[in-house]
Chain A
Amino acid sequence: MTWIWSNLDLIWDRTLDHVVLSVPPIILSFLLAVPLGWLAYRFRVGRGIILSGVGLLYAVPSLPLFIVLPFIVGTTVRSPLNLIIALTLYGVALMVRVVADGLASVDRNVRQSAMAVGFSEWTQFWRVEFPLAGPVLLAGLRVVAVSTVSLATVGAVIGAQSLGSLFTDGFQRGIQAEIIAGIIATVVLALALDGALVLLGRLLMPWTRSAPSAARAPMRSDKEAVA
């Protein structure tokens, strides 16, 4: 425990490093997954190809990916950019299917009525289907966020400073408290990001909070309607 108290600065710095490594992939994977997921949802042919493609992506083991990536994208072997790209790919792999399923989950009735009253395909996507897929998208994004925070620790192996560095360092120098601190900080960070997403969801999707209650509210013409 004394190690933790005397190294709070170090833990804080690694936490910030970890945020820098994990937040961009979460955002990027969401941004990339939306158009891909839309393609998979909209076109039957695209669906099989895209979904199995991203599924395979997730099957690629992380360490070989870290090694191969620099050759593909032209970064240096020790650049943190490799990690961000790799984590983005994993995020996309998880998220594309969620986007496709989320869009498919939107009530057919609502989609048809939006079409019937004159939404163009573009406005209908952004104003109807995308927001209504929101709860499903949020659920997927929460998984991506937590998994990305956890995966980002692997970066320590290829030299990207993160909370994972506390594992490797603690392991090499035999400091158990440092390993435990790394684990706790990773979990706390994951929970914090998860909580932030839930909060964001509540702000952006206020209708999900209004529990269906068929309240018989004042209807003025109840009487005159029959009169």
Chain B
Amino acid sequence: MIEFHSVTKRFPDGTVAVDGFSLVLPSRKTTVLVGTSGSGKTTLLRMINRMVDPTSGSIEIDGADIGTLEPVKLRRGIGYVMQNSGLLPHRKVIDNVATVPMLSGIPKKRARTEALQLLDTVGLDRSLANRYPSQLSGGQQQRVGVARGLAVNPNILLMDEPFGAVDPIVRAELQQELLRLQRELGKTVVFVTHDIDEAFLLGDQVVILRTGGLIAQVGSPAEILANPADDFVATFVGADRGKRVLHLESHSDGDVLVDADGRLAGVLAGGTSPSAAAGAKAAPEEKAAPEVKAGPFAGSGAPAQGGDPR
């Protein structure tokens, strides 16, 4: 469990990135911090492994104030995955994954064996182990990044917009991979993104942030979507624009789901049977029952999610 107690961060230039932030991040769940740039989400993430120290307030991991812990040691116990993978370009894939365990004193041979197993875990072929990061595709690099984050077998995994720089199809793949991994491994994941659809897909708990690290709303995706706390949240999640209100339209090619803007959002699971068409009347209820994770109306029209015909 990670707890923020009225944490404030004021940078030397006077910018207040985070102001009086308090939150509990439950263990073995995924908490997504979502907000636009300037919302302090990355700063919050980096405070958890002391890459940034708060100006005031405290952060506790399982009851221990991390301000009293040695930063390097703390970081070695926490997985970290960032945008553009952050892999060391001069080390082979296998060494990138094995580096941190070796820094912590695990013998090279064992670290490398475990690194190979981790490549399996994140769905990478072992034949890539001896390549350099620049020889991999963006999606493969991110997978290596995840493997590296898992290498120390941490309880906590920090992910800073890890899928922000890959194309939508690969992003959807990686998101599903992360959901699968999370089902298997049950880490305490803290995930930062500016993409609300990604947040709703991945998060057990979603934290919507305003500029300056102020919490606009905390809750499960369903809670937030069903009851946006205010206009800011409603705008942010797209509820005000009807982005979340889907209805069925019949075309000669078949039935499709369309949002209030007229944008194609997806198709009904199970094809275009008459009973599915009957669901058209019930479409406005979608807003009230947005089980985004598993529901047939997966997503909001982003090609990365709902529109995937596979």
Contacts and interface: CB of A to CB of B under 8 A. Distances in A.
B75 A222 contact: no
Nearest to A117: B100
Interface string B142-160: 0100001100000000100
B279 interface: no
B109 interface: no
Interface in A112-157: 112-120, 123, 127-128, 131-132, 134
Contacts of B310: 226
A134 B32 CA distance: 39
Interface size bucket, A side?
35 or more
B75 to A, nearest CB: 4
Contacts of B140: 217, 219
Contacts of A110: 86-89
A221 B172 contact: no
A218 B90 contact: no
A44 B114 CA distance: 42
Tell which of B86, B91, B140, B158 has the most Cβ of chain A within 10 Å: B86
Contacts of B104: 118
Interface stretch (A17-25, A95-103, A204-212): A204-212
B134 A118 contact: no
Interface in A190-227: 205, 207, 210-222, 224-226
Interface of B: 46, 49, 51, 72-77, 80, 82-91, 99-100, 103-104, 123-125, 127-128, 131-132, 134-140, 143, 148-149, 158, 172-174, 176-177, 180, 308, 310
12 contacts: A113-B85, A113-B86, A113-B88, A131-B90, A214-B136, A217-B131, A218-B125, A219-B125, A219-B143, A220-B124, A225-B173, A226-B308
